[in-house]
Chain A
Amino acid sequence: MGKNRETGETGLNAGERMKRYWAHNWQLWLMLLPGIIYIFVFCYVPMYGVQLAFRDYSFTSGITGGKWEGFKYFRQYFESPMFIPTLRNTFIIALTSIVVGFPAPIILAMIINQIRNTKWKKIVQTTVYIPYFISVVVLVSMINILFANDSGVVGNFLKAIHLVGQDINILGKESAFVPLYVLTGVWQSMGWNSIIFIAALSSVDTQLYDACKIDGANRWQTMWNIDFPAILPTIMILLILNMGNILNVGFDKVFLMQNSLNLGASQVISTYVYTVGIKSSQFSFGAAVGLFNTAINFVFLLLTNYLSKKATGTGLM
């Protein structure tokens, strides 16, 4: 892979170039080898399963032997009246999650980084990442209890400070589903996701702070001019990865938060596939929708990667 691109020197024959290449790079290849082998065995070998999206499943003849159906199962999804609604709902949830949820841990990391009181800093830092360990099932039970009409403490608090209209049933309002889903998601993962930024901030060269001090910059300016650029590459990489995950709106939480009233906003691709397969597993249909999902995700990843490389010089590949 890429061997031929190596070394711009001319006048050497291929064998010799190879030799030089290996002399220089064999250690790097060796360091990559375990990972490459693992990925090959556990990810590439099973990949023949992808063709199931184009075939009928047949147990006797295996994945590779079922009847070739071409794009039948893709068409089944595209032509379904639920295609547009599920795609739309998925996009809305995912985009809102990124717009609101992506900056949150960055800001949190910056704030934590600025806390001067060491004890308080430790307390905050340790507390914010605990929600990550709460299972989705419990999270949703808590949402249902804390936001219940009339009896929910948090719901009532939000109504008392007029953030939410008095007669709105937060759990049952279609328009409240996305904010509720996204904000509880931010609550749960903000602290956990901030860890990587906090770590990145810790690697900022401290001499830069001193230099900035001497220039008379205040803390805000220091943060903006030194901290932020220092973690920008990390931010960009994570943004790319997030964009590449855009259609993977987690099944569990949406499914558990679904109720008849919010179905108009909460029926997403993964819950729809589940509904289709609930009585008899529709392997090929699921595989086709999954592949469609993946393809869209991949396009988003490549696109964001390209834009990021152009704008900031940071990219995955």
Chain B
Amino acid sequence: MTKTAVKNRSVKCSSWSDRIFGAAVMILSIMIFLIIAYPLWFVVIASISNSNLVNLGKVTFWPKDIRFYGYEQILQDARIWKGYANTILYVVAGTALNMVITMPAAYALSRKDFKARNGVMFYFVFTMFFSGGLVPTYMTVSALHLISTRTILVVFVAINTYNLIIARTFIQNSIPDDLYEAAVLDGCSHFTYFMKVVLPLSKAVISVLILYYAVFHWNDYFNALIYNSKQDNAPLQIVLRDILLLNQAFASGNGGVQGGYGQSSADQVKYAVIIVSTLPILCVYPFIQKYFEKGVMIGAVKG
């Protein structure tokens, strides 16, 4: 009886202010969507339109003088498939290694009773700022005989301090301390508690880290450029960069290269590269998304 009364009141109350709120959310989300979506659409149409017209600002909402030169240039290059395969290897192996190293470390650093944690944290954070520079790092990698190996492309940045901090913050704030105390009473060690309780409860942050690390490996161009010179090991981004440069009109004006050189299509490659390199990794997102949806979904359904 009283329960329904409360419920009615709340429904009544919500129907007025909440409706405005819901409308505001809807309008804002539509606006944001449009602002984000238009330039993305632009990339798509620019990748199939005459580049001269794109440069002149004549291509606005629909593609003009459609041609698929950009995609042809990319997809007919045999190296691209090798690049995809390499990248997938680096993403899968690299991300797995990242997670195996990051999550336990994040857990250890989240234990408030672990007195050394501030010191260890400083040990990590310091390296976000001070680095010996590229050359000493290169020489270290070289001393380990890892230059131009696949290993270095998997191992490099095995742990990212930024991600470590995110994971630690998450574990610390969303897993109640009572659980640990209860687990200790049950005779759990840190290992078992971590495996049995922390990991299952951290699905959301694990998904985020997987996404962060996977995208990092996917996009990684710089480390592959510096630490690998073997064409066979080249990841997708390196291959795409080569194709892109190959197709770009060359500004030095030393005579020749620009000569009648596919000007009307050259820039297509620039846009097509974005699409070719992004589509596969975009497909990963929905799978990951559902893990950090769940909690919210339950809340929403109940409300």
Contacts and interface: CB of A to CB of B under 8 A. Distances in A.
B244 to A, nearest CB: 8
A39 B101 CA distance: 11
B113 to A, nearest CB: 8
A153 B57 CA distance: 8
Nearest to A233: B173
A2 interface: yes
Interface residues of B, number: 111
Say whether chain A's binding surface is mostly helix, strand, loop, or mixed.
helix
Given A124-B29, A209-B302, A219-B18, A153 B60 contact: yes
5 contacts: A48-B136, A115-B29, A126-B285, A133-B277, A142-B43
Interface string A91-113: 00000000000000000100111
A241 B43 contact: no
A143 B165 CA distance: 34
A263 interface: no
What range describes how many residues of A lie at the interface?
A: 35 or more
B208 A133 contact: no
Interface in B28-47: 28-29, 32-33, 35-40, 42-43, 46
Interface string A104-139: 000010011111101010111111111111110110
A218 B17 contact: yes
Interface stretch (B63-71, B73-81, B256-264, B287-295): B287-295
B127 A43 contact: yes
Contact of B292 (A52, A202, A218, A298): A202
B58 interface: yes
A199 B288 CA distance: 11
Given A31-B108, A214-B6, A46 B278 contact: no
A132 to B, nearest CB: 8
A11 interface: no
A206 B295 contact: yes
Contacts of B274: 133-135, 138
B104 A31 contact: yes
Interface in B159-203: 159, 161-162, 164-166, 169-170, 172-174, 189-191, 194
Contacts of A135: 273-274
A202 B293 contact: yes
B21 A203 contact: no
Contacts of B46: 142
A108 B114 contact: no
B3 to A, nearest CB: 9
Given A47-B130, A130-B278, A195-B208, A32 B135 contact: no
Interface in B224-280: 267, 270-271, 273-274, 277-278
A310 interface: no
A31 B25 contact: no
